[in-house]
Every structure is written in structure tokens, then in C-alpha cells.
């Protein structure tokens, strides 16, 4: 069962800790695992994991959710929020989630290297058989999706 | 007045650190923000700095390189450095401490952790 899988749990723990500490928001598994954020609403970014395994992790949220998060984190009204602030929040969230995820997964003496977060362009890439996904939601029921791809990264899922 | 450099490519991260500094009573400190290590190094050479808080994963010049440059500089080698990173683990922390960083904190850093880390450097 994936609920007991260290790889799966490492991401849940990383996302929960990140959203709780940065946005004061509780994150849990989505009650509907088949839920997809509508394509015209989704914003996403990605970050490369370079060492000791190679892969990519993507974070996708709805624009409305990202706007709420930005307002909460910066402590400003919605009409003051800029797209730069929203993009920066999304990147910092992913950067922190991936760092905690790798810390949770790797041995203490294992160094890892990750790239810089980059905003996604166009539609969210399709999920293939090699992709592990986490369908999460906030306590406000805003959907947060995380995807991990890359053969050697995803292979950790089976260890 | 204390003068502190915050080096992080994320405005969000810099804002978080500034908020932590305010919460722990350092709201009056002069904060110099840098988006990467090179900018931080230039700022540190230009004026007297009490503390450097730096991210690790940055464009242009990363935090590890910044630590090396500062520790190699006769003028700056005594500057206390706290690395705040999302890419930290015991192996990385040991390496950074060996290079000359004074503390390594993991993101997301909370005000009590920040207060504990800063106390020994800013009470002097």
C-alpha cells in the first residue's frame, strides 16, 4: 500500500511541513484521487534533481489557490498581489518541498544536488506510467498536485 | 545598528527571513538584500557587515562558493555566516561547517530556530 511507502510518505511529510510552516496551511491527501485541476486554472513549475538520482519534480496548483497563498504569505490584500510575487511563492514552495523530500529520502551521509525551480509553460505534461503523483489538498479543499518523473528518481519508489 | 546581508534568489525567502528578524527583535537592523552570492560578496566588501545569512542554491554564484570566497578574504574571513537552505542534510552541513559557515539551518526556518542561531553572533 502506498500509504506505507517511504517514497510516498517522504513527499507527504515534505509538503505538509512546507505548507504548514510557510503558509500556515494544513495539507492532506485529496478525498478524490482522480481529481484534476482544470487546465485553464492550473499553474505549475518544475525542479530538476541532479544527484544522486536524476529526475524532475513538478508542483501544480490552481491560480486562485496560488493567489490566496501569496496573500497569506506576504500578508497583503488580493488586489496588491503581483504575478512576480505569485511566481516567486510557487518556486520557493517547490524548492523547499523538494529539499525536504530528498532529506527525508536520502541517507544522512548522502549529498544531493538539485537545480533551480522553473515556471512551467503551457499545459501540465501528461502523467505517464513512469510518473508518481501525489494528489493533495489544503484544509480549504484547494487541490495541490505533485509529480515525480525520471527513471532513477522514481526507482527509489520501489526500494 | 546591526547590518545584515540576506542572500537568496527568492524574494519570498528573503521576506520570511526579514519577518523572522523582526519577530526576534532585530527589526531595526539594516538589511541588505542580495539575489545571489556575487551581489552579497560585493555588498560585504563595500561596508562593515555583522552577519551574513545566505541560501545555498542560487544563480550566478551559489552559497557554497560565497562561503569559500568570504573565508578566503583576509578582510571578510571573520564575518559570521549562517546558511539557510532547503538542500541541507548532515553531509552537506558538515561540509559547509568545514568550509567556514558557522551554522546551517534548514528551510522553512522558524523564528525560535532563527533566534537561537543568531543569539551567539548578535549579542556581542
Q: How far is A34 from chain B (nearest CA, A)?
A: 30
Are A95 and B86 in contact (CB < 8 Å)?
A: yes
> What stretches of A106-159 show up as alpha helix (H) in DSSP?
151-155
**Mean per-residue pLDDT for A126-149?**
91
| pLDDT tens profile A31-74 | 998 899 999 999 999 999 998 889 999 999 999 999 999 998 88
Residue B24 DSSP class: T
Q: Which residues of chain B lie closer than 8 angstroms to A84, CB-CB?
A: 11
Report yes or no: B71 at the A interface, CB cutoff 8 Å: no
> What stretches of chain A show up as alpha helix (H) in DSSP?
6-23, 63-74, 83-105, 151-155
**Cβ B20 vs Cβ B67: under 8 Å:** no
Q: Which residues of chain A lie closer than 8 angstroms to B85, CB-CB?
A: 99
**Mean per-residue pLDDT for B64-69?**
97
N- to C-terminal Cα distance for chain B?
A: 12
Minimum Cα–Cα distance from A108: chain B residue: B90
Question: Which strand (E) or helix (H) includes residue A58?
Answer: strand A55-62
Question: Which strand (E) or helix (H) includes residue A27?
Answer: strand A27-29
Q: How far is B107 from chain A (nearest CA, A)?
A: 6
User: What cell was used for A112?
Assistant: 544531493
Are B10 and A103 in contact (CB < 8 Å)?
A: no
Report the C-alpha gap between A134 and A18 in whole angstroms. 15
Query: Which of the residue ranges A95-99, B43-47, B116-120 would you say has the lowest mean pLDDT?
Result: B116-120
Smallest Cβ–Cβ distance between B108 and the set A96, A108, A111 belongs to A96
Domains of chain A: 2-33+41-158 (3.40.1550.10)
Domains of chain B: 3-122 (3.40.50.2300)
Residue indicated by cell numbers 520570511 = B16
**Nearest to residue A109, comparing CAs of B76, B44, B93?**
B93
Decide which of B108 and B95 is more confident: B95
| pLDDT tens profile A99-130 | 999 988 888 788 888 999 999 988 888 888 88
Peptide bond into B115 cis (omega under 30): no
Amino acid at each position: 500500500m502506498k500509504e506505507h511507502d517511504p517514497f510516498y510518505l517522504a513527499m507527504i511529510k515534505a509538503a505538509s511541513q512546507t505548507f504548514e510552516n510557510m503558509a500556515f496551511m494544513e495539507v492532506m491527501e485529496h478525498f478524490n484521487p482522480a481529481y484534476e485541476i482544470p487546465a485553464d486554472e492550473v499553474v505549475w513549475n518544475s525542479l530538476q534533481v541532479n544527484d544522486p538520482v536524476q529526475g524532475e519534480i513538478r508542483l501544480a496548483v490552481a491560480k486562485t489557490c496560488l493567489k490566496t497563498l501569496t496573500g497569506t504569505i506576504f500578508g497583503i490584500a488580493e488586489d496588491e498581489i503581483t504575478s512576480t510575487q505569485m511566481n516567486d511563492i510557487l518556486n520557493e514552495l517547490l524548492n523547499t518541498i523538494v529539499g525536504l523530500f530528498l532529506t527525508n529520502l536520502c541517507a544522512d551521509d548522502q549529498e544531493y544536488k538539485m537545480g533551480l525551480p522553473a515556471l512551467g509553460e503551457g499545459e501540465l505534461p501528461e502523467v505517464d506510467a513512469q510518473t508518481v503523483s501525489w494528489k493533495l489538498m489544503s484544509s480549504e479543499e484547494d487541490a495541490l498536485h505533485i509529480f515525480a518523473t525520471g527513471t532513477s528518481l522514481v526507482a527509489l519508489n520501489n526500494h | 545598528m546591526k547590518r545584515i546581508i540576506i542572500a537568496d534568489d527568492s524574494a519570498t525567502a528573503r521576506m520570511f527571513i526579514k519577518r523572522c528578524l523582526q519577530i526576534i527583535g532585530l527589526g531595526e537592523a539594516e538589511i541588505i538584500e542580495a539575489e545571489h552570492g556575487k551581489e552579497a560578496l560585493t555588498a560585504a566588501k563595500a561596508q562593515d557587515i555583522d552577519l551574513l545569512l545566505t541560501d545555498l542554491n542560487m544563480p550566478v554564484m551559489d552559497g557554497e562558493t560565497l562561503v569559500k570566497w568570504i573565508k578566503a578574504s583576509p578582510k571578510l574571513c571573520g564575518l559570521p555566516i549562517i546558511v539557510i537552505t532547503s538542500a541541507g542534510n548532515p553531509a552537506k552541513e558538515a561540509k559547509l561547517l568545514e568550509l567556514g559557515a558557522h551554522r546551517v539551518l534548514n528551510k522553512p526556518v522558524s523564528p525560535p530556530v532563527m533566534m537561537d542561531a543568531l543569539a551567539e553572533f548578535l549579542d556581542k
